[in-house]
Amino acid sequence: ETIKALAAVLEKKQKEFQNVIYLISDEPYRELAYDGAKVPWLTKYYKNTVVGYSYSKSLSLPGERIGYLVIPDEAADSENLISAVNVATRILGFVNAPTLQQKVVKACLNEKTDISFYDRNRETLYNGLRELGFECIKPEGAFYLFVKSPVEDEKAFCTAAKKYNILLVPGSSFGCPGYVRIAYCVAYETIVNSLPKFAELAAEYR
């Protein structure tokens, strides 16, 4: 329903401004969805959608810049848009994927992402933090958990966490002020071993 509403707004504004509005959908976490959640293709709801995808997340290749863009034929001026992207790729040479990585991805195209490792970490971290009194948003995808800061200044909370060797990122960097972000794409043992330190951090704010 949210996507349909967004598409309706964009269609309305295109007519109002008499100009094409492209929707860019950044989808590196497409396969990393939990609890049976399905990620819809936005191109089915809004034709002027450009989808960006990266294999760095689905194949657990952190730092590797290899993926693709989807530019639908039905998108406005699609041929010129494709040409512009091709030129940009040639100009920005650092975004060209190495031949070796292209061969690796080709060999892995039909592989399924096993999210059970991430899901185990997600459940353990979420439940553990909740038991310690933290207010958390349970993620439906990707591998980041947002926790509400116990103080108004989440940056101060991030600084306090460093005393316990916990690295948090201010949520304001991601449009979520008042929250902090935790990545759980680590070994399960790291999640388990972190909880006593989170307990010490929680005690500081009681």
Architecture of domain 116-204: Alpha-Beta Complex (3.90)
Q: What is the pLDDT of residue 63?
A: 80
Q: Which DSSP helix (H) or strand (E) runs through 23?
A: strand 23-26
Q: For 168-195, write each residue's pLDDT tens digit.
A: 999 999 999 999 999 999 999 999 999 9
Return the CATH fold of 2-108. Aspartate Aminotransferase; domain 2 (3.40.640)
What residue ranges do the domains of the chain occupy?
Answer: 2-108, 116-204
- Which pTM was predicted? 0.86
Q: What is the pLDDT of residue 133?
A: 97
Cβ-contact 66, 55 below 8 angstroms: yes
Sheet of 179-183, strands arranged across: 136-137, 144-148, 179-183, 169-170
d(CA 32, CA 182): 16
- Which of 187, 160, 185, 157 has the alpha carbon at shortest distance from 172? 157
